[in-house]
Amino acid sequence: MNKGSISMAVIRRLPKYHRCLSDMIDKGIERISSKELSETIGFSASQIRQDFNNFGKFGQQGYGYNVEDLHSAISNIIGLQHTYRLIVLGAGNLGEALVNFGFEKLGFQVDALFDNNTEKIGKIVHGVEVLDVNILETYMSKHPVDIAVITTPVKVAQQIADRVVISGARSIWNFAPVDLVVPEDVIVENVHLVDNLMTLAYLLNS
Amino acid sequence: MNKGSISMAVIRRLPKYHRCLSDMIDKGIERISSKELSETIGFSASQIRQDFNNFGKFGQQGYGYNVEDLHSAISNIIGLQHTYRLIVLGAGNLGEALVNFGFEKLGFQVDALFDNNTEKIGKIVHGVEVLDVNILETYMSKHPVDIAVITTPVKVAQQIADRVVISGARSIWNFAPVDLVVPEDVIVENVHLVDNLMTLAYLLNS
């Protein structure tokens, strides 16, 4: 399997499969037909078959899917068998909210928060220490960081992105309302909250 | 112009045009060629022309665009000439972060937070009062709500969604990791943060 050849549209549907199957496990559902899966998740049966075909063979014609097996297969495709080390840049409400969201249950472990506010430095937020952003490079030279989460004010976001990239961050989860410029091999996932509000505004008027 | 016929892909590019043009205004740029706009925003010139053609005529062949005029036109297309009334369900870190994000500058005004925690009820968060979720229906019968923002724990998110929908909310901005079921005429914009992390996990391994 050449994962690099899978389209982003397919990749972005994987978390929804994962969420849907997790719900079914919670509800005690053991087996599901492709028709039932299609109705629950809202993708056509043919879409689901095509998506799964990218990753090998799941289920058996006429027998449907074993929910646990499919959930586990999707988890492995996403890469949830690994643990990911995160740092959060910016220890404001949003940074604190992200530390407290429960992502560690899925293997996304926040190791440190960083801030430049001396009143916040040294504070423990849900078990995670707020470190001085001045020691960011030193920290990163000693600790692997898979995902650097940027929740800083917009005016310093690019500068912080440059610093984590130089220090070896492989990916950035960006909440600042700015389109960051990074080298091609650094992955950026943006959450532009304002864009959501603008989309809602547009749809409310149409 | 029939706004209903515009594709979601075009609609979701509008905020990026808006952000890009706001940056240009901040930098004092008055006029921009379609080529420069294309390079800055990262969409092809033909894509940009097609997008704008959905909404009428902008700029003049060979003269480029007046940045202020274009910004103002895009703002109006999105609907930013109006003010939108928001309530935030859940006064945790995420709810507080959203109240403090600065959305009011664009016309998205949070009027109230709601929580069921008696220690939070009555608190003022960045000028916005935390109200008892028990009075949600009474509040909504007296105050118009354009966007109900759900930042509650996942287990109560659907129930809260049902309550705001029955009380007349026209749209929901949902941060709970669940796919809400709502009537067809209610608009839901999801921010599934876990999905972003899973996408990053996948891409880090591919």
CA distance linking residue B73 with residue B55, whole number of Å: 9
CATH number of the domain encompassing residue A70: 1.10.10.10
Helix axes A8-26, B193-205, angle to 10 degrees: 120
Residue B193 to residue A191, Cβ atoms within 8 A: yes
Contact list, A97 vs chain B (CB under 8 Å): 92-94, 96-97
Best CA proximity match to A6, nearest among A64, A65, A79, A63? A79
For residue B121, CA distances in Å to A96, A145, B125 come to 20, 38, 10
Place of tokens 């800083």: A152
CA distance linking residue B163 with residue B160, whole number of Å: 5
CA distance linking residue B153 with residue B172, whole number of Å: 15
Domain boundary among B78, B106, B132: B78
Query: Looking at CA atoms only, how far is residue A129 from chain B in angstroms?
Result: 17
Residue B194 to residue A103, Cβ atoms within 8 A: yes
In this complex, which of A82, A179, A201 lies closest to B78 when CB atoms are compared?
A: A201
Same domain, B23 and B62: yes
Residue A79 to residue B194, Cβ atoms within 8 A: no
Query: Looking at CA atoms only, how far is residue B12 from chain A in angstroms?
Result: 6
Closest residue of chain B to A21, computed from CA coordinates: B178
Each residue's pLDDT, cut to its tens digit, for chain A (206 residues) gives 455 578 999 999 999 999 999 999 999 999 998 888 999 898 998 899 889 888 887 766 667 889 999 999 999 999 999 999 999 999 999 999 999 998 999 999 999 999 999 999 999 999 999 999 999 999 999 999 999 999 999 999 999 999 999 999 999 999 998 989 999 999 999 999 999 999 999 999 98
In this complex, which of B19, B77, B189 lies closest to A200 when CB atoms are compared?
A: B189
Contact list, B104 vs chain A (CB under 8 Å): none
Residue B171 to residue A204, Cβ atoms within 8 A: yes
Residue B147 to residue A197, Cβ atoms within 8 A: yes
Do the beta carbons of residue B168 and residue B148 sit within 8 Å? no
Contact list, A174 vs chain B (CB under 8 Å): none
Same domain, A192 and A153: yes
Residue B115 counted as domain residue: yes
Same domain, A21 and A116: no
- pLDDT reported for residue A60: 66
Closest residue of chain A to B84, computed from CA coordinates: A201
CATH number of the domain encompassing residue B184: 3.40.50.720
Position B170 confidence tier, pLDDT thresholds 50, 70, 90:
very high
Residue B3 has pLDDT above 60, yes or no: no
Residue A80 to residue B3, Cβ atoms within 8 A: no
Query: Looking at CA atoms only, how far is residue B200 from chain A in angstroms?
Result: 7
Structure letter (DSSP) for residue A105: G
- pLDDT reported for residue B60: 66
Residue B205 counted as domain residue: no
Sign of CA dihedral A60, B205, A190, B15: negative
* A-B contacts (CB, under 8 Å): 176
Residue B201 counted as domain residue: no
CA triple A137-A157-B178, angle to 5 deg: 105
Same domain, A38 and A114: no
- pLDDT reported for residue B4: 57
CA distance linking residue B83 with residue A204, whole number of Å: 12
Closest residue of chain A to B12, computed from CA coordinates: A199
Query: Looking at CA atoms only, how far is residue B92 from chain A in angstroms?
Result: 8
Same domain, B121 and B177: yes
Same domain, A96 and A189: yes
- pLDDT reported for residue B45: 87
Do the beta carbons of residue B121 and residue B134 sit within 8 Å? no
In this complex, which of A79, A194, A195 lies closest to B204 when CB atoms are compared?
A: A79
Residue A194 to residue B15, Cβ atoms within 8 A: yes
CA distance linking residue A160 with residue A148, whole number of Å: 10
CA distance linking residue B148 with residue B174, whole number of Å: 8
The model's pLDDT over B102-161, given as tens digits with 9 standing for 90+, comes to 899 999 999 999 999 999 999 999 999 999 999 999 999 999 999 999 999 999 999 999
Residue A194 to residue B19, Cβ atoms within 8 A: yes
Same domain, B50 and B107: no
Same domain, A98 and A148: yes
CA distance linking residue B14 with residue B41, whole number of Å: 11
Same domain, A22 and A90: no
Residue B18 counted as domain residue: yes
Residue B199 to residue A189, Cβ atoms within 8 A: yes
Residue A80 to residue B201, Cβ atoms within 8 A: yes
Q: Which residues contact A157 (CB under 8 A, 6 or more apart)?
A: A150, A174, A176, A178, A180
CA distance linking residue A200 with residue B81, whole number of Å: 14
Do the beta carbons of residue B111 and residue B99 sit within 8 Å? no
Looking only at the bridges linking them, the beta strands covering A128-132 and A124-125 are: antiparallel
In this complex, which of A16, A98, A199 lies closest to B15 when CB atoms are compared?
A: A199
Chosen for mutation from B109, B155, B174, B197 (greatest number of chain A CBs closer than 10 Å) is B197
Residue A10 counted as domain residue: yes
Best CA proximity match to B96, nearest among A157, A198, A95, A104? A95
In this complex, which of A19, A108, A198 lies closest to B15 when CB atoms are compared?
A: A198
Domain boundary among B78, B105, B123: B78
Residue A139 counted as domain residue: yes
Same domain, B191 and B99: yes
User: DSSP characters for chain B?
Assistant: --GGGS-HHHHHHHHHHHHHHHHHHHTT--EE-HHHHHHHH-S-HHHHHHHHHTT---SBTTTBEEHHHHHHHHHHHHTTTS-EEEEEE--SHHHHHHHTS-GGGGTEEEEEEEES-TTTTT-EETTEEEEEGGGHHHHHHHS--SEEEE-S-HHHHHHHHHHHHHTT--EEEE-SSS-----TTSEEEE--HHHHHHHHHHHHH-
- For residue B153 the two structure tokens come to 């724990």
CA distance linking residue A11 with residue B155, whole number of Å: 26
Residue B80 to residue A193, Cβ atoms within 8 A: no
The model's pLDDT over B56-101, given as tens digits with 9 standing for 90+, comes to 877 666 678 899 999 999 999 999 999 999 999 999 999 999 999 9
Give, rounded to a whole angstrom, the gap between the first and last alpha carbons of chain A.
43
- pLDDT reported for residue B5: 77
Residue B193 to residue A101, Cβ atoms within 8 A: yes
Same domain, A114 and A184: yes
Residue B53 has pLDDT above 90, yes or no: no
Domain boundary among A53, A78, A103: A78
Do the beta carbons of residue B202 and residue A79 sit within 8 Å? yes
Residue A19 to residue B171, Cβ atoms within 8 A: no
Q: Give the range among A119-128, A188-197, B43-52, B190-199 with minimum mean pLDDT.
A: B43-52
Residue A107 counted as domain residue: yes
For residue A108, CA distances in Å to A40, A148, B97, B155 come to 27, 11, 21, 21
Number of domains in chain B: 2
Residue B202 counted as domain residue: no
Q: Which domain holds residue B154?
A: 84-196
Same domain, B189 and B88: yes
- For residue B116 the two structure tokens come to 């069921």
